[in-house]
Every structure is written in structure tokens, then in C-alpha cells.
Amino acid sequence: MSDLIKLEKEGTIAVLTLTRPDAMNALGEEGDGEAVAAVCAELVADRTIRAAILTGEGRAFSAGGNVKAMLAGEGNFAGNPAMVREGYRGNIHKALRALYALDIPLIAAVNGPAIGLGCDLACLADIRLASTRSSFGVTFLKVGIIPGDGGTWILPRIIGMSRAAELFYTGRVIKPEQAMEWGLVSRVVEPEVLMDEARSLATEIAAQPPYQLRATKTLLRQGQSISYDTALEMAASTQGLMHHTQDHKEGARAVLERRAAKFTGE
């Protein structure tokens, strides 16, 4: 049984915490993928949850893969090349796919270093808030491996190809201020208020109509890899459904009556 992640529900908000502080929340132990996938499946099925926060326990967000296990050839990294490949696909990649497929908005509250796979995890969130104690790096080449967790796909989409290439090729670790300048994070705050800021943002997001909120996330994600014409067709089809919801009528009434809307998911 993996000890990697804890799920707490706070009304319409969920908090996911990586709970391996002694190992700086490193991933790659047996069952980690299943643990993350199970938590994400529960959130997708729970229609009362409208936003989620991902953070780390202790001084790190996540230091990425377990370098000691890599060197020893243990766990995910044991066996011949085919076995290592399946270790990635069946464990680490299962966690990544589950987080990427999460259909509610996800905020990463990056409390400390987010390195290698840890940086990739943060990039899977829709929004990243960073503590002044955080740092970011994709340091795979430093330990003689390649970026094996999809970071070469997602990081250029966030900060652009040139800056992503600079980070991958040098293995440099950047401070949160530079991460914000490059668009990797939205905001940098003091450690003691990070979770308060994340919860405040999640609460604001969770006040939106839930079906429309999930559909908007889908359109944002799909919009990164489809043509403009296809995006317009998807928007038209989705909008046709949304116009027939009670939340649309409530939103329109609230605008005309100059009051805050109360969305119910109907």
C-alpha cells in the first residue's frame, strides 16, 4: 500500500497532499500510480467537488523520482530495459495520466522544491502558486537520464520552447521569482500564507457553475492541440448544452438583478 498521497475534502474543495516528507515527497515506489489514480477517480466521481489543491508535506513539494532507488536499480528502476519501461508506464505514468485527466480545476500550492518529476507534477496543475521557499528544475540530465515523465510535452506549452529547452539542457534550478517572470507560476507568496491563498483561489473557482467549470477546463486542454475551427465547433456544441441548464438561467438572472449567483449544478 502506497503512503504517497492523502485526500481531504473541505466542502466543495479537495486538498491532495503528498505525504512522504522524509524523502522530500519522492515518487516511484510500488503502488504510487495506483494511489494517485484512485484519489483522482474519487474526485472525478464526486460531483460535489469543484476545485482541488495539490501540495506537499514538509519542506518539499516533490523532489521527483527516488535517486537512491535509481542508483540501486530497485522498484521502478529494477530489471532489464523492458521492465524499467513497464515500471514507468504502469506506475509513475499512471499517476501523471490520472492528474492530467482530472476534470476539475487543479491548483498546485508549491511549498518547496519541485524538481524533475516534481516539476512535472506541478505543471499538470491548471494554476501554480509558489512559496518563497520553492524552486523549480528539470534536472534529469544531471543524473544521466532523459525527461521521462512528459515534461518535454507540457513545460514548453507553459513557458515556451526556448526557456523550456534552457532548463532541460542545463539542469538549472530557478527561484520562484524567475518562475513567475517566465509564467511558470501565477503568484509568489510567503510560506505561512500559501495554503490560505490556495484555498481562497479554490473557493473563488468553486463558486462557478460546476458543469460549465469542468467543460471550460476540457476546452482549455483540448485547445492546446486542435485547430481553431475544431475549437469553435467544440465550443458551439458544448454551449448548446449549457444554455439548457438551470445554472445558466440563474447566472443570467443574477447579472440582471445585480446579485451574486448561486449555482447548484443543475
Residue 1 has pLDDT above 60, yes or no: no
Give me the pLDDT at residue 73, please: 63
Number of domains in the chain: 2
- 185 within domain boundaries: yes
Q: How many helices (H) and strands (E) does the chain have?
A: 12, 9
Contact 51, 205 (CB under 8 A): yes
Q: Is residue 263 part of a domain?
A: no
* pLDDT tens digit sequence for 110-168: 999 999 999 999 999 999 999 999 999 999 999 899 898 899 999 999 999 999 999 99
- Give yes or no: residues 138 and 249 share one domain: no
The alpha carbon torsion through 156, 161, 164, 168 (nearest 10 deg) reads 110
Checking DSSP bridges between strand 173-174 and strand 127-131, what pairing results, if any?
unpaired
pLDDT in tens, 192-233: 999 999 999 999 999 999 999 999 999 998 888 899 999 999
Based on the fold, state whether residues 38 and 85 are members of the same structural domain. Answer: yes
Confidence of residue 3 (pLDDT cuts 50, 70, 90): confident
- Residue 264 within any structural domain of the chain: no
Whether residue 266 lies inside any domain: the answer is: no
Q: Mean of the per-residue pLDDT values for the chain? A: 91
Grid cell listed for 125: 496543475
Are residues 121 and 84 part of one domain?
A: yes
On whether residue 246 sits in a domain, the answer given is yes
When comparing pLDDT for 107 and 87, which is higher? 107
pLDDT of the residue at 128? 98
Which residue in the block uniquely carries the three cell numbers 537520464?
145
Distance between CA atoms of 204 and 50, rounded to whole angstroms?
10
What pLDDT, on a 0 to 100 scale, did the predictor assign at position 64? 84
CATH number of the domain to which 235 belongs:
1.10.12
Report how far residue 25's alpha carbon sits from residue 55's, in angstroms, rounded to the nearest whole number: 10
Residues spanned by the domain of 250: 210-257
Strand 5-10, strand 13-18: pairing = antiparallel
Q: What is the mean pLDDT of residues 163-191?
A: 97
Residue 138, phi then psi, degrees to nearest 5: -120, 80
Q: Hey, what long-range contacts does 246-251 have (CB within 8 A, 24 or more apart)?
A: 247/209, 247/210, 247/211, 247/212, 248/209, 248/212, 250/209, 251/209
Q: What is the pLDDT of residue 239?
A: 87
> What is the tens place of the pLDDT at every residue in 57-86?
999 999 987 776 666 666 666 656 666 677
192 and 214 belong to one structural domain: no
Q: Does 199 lie in the same domain as 80? A: yes
Torsion of CA 148, 97, 160, 193, to 10 degrees: -110
Residue 76's pLDDT is 67
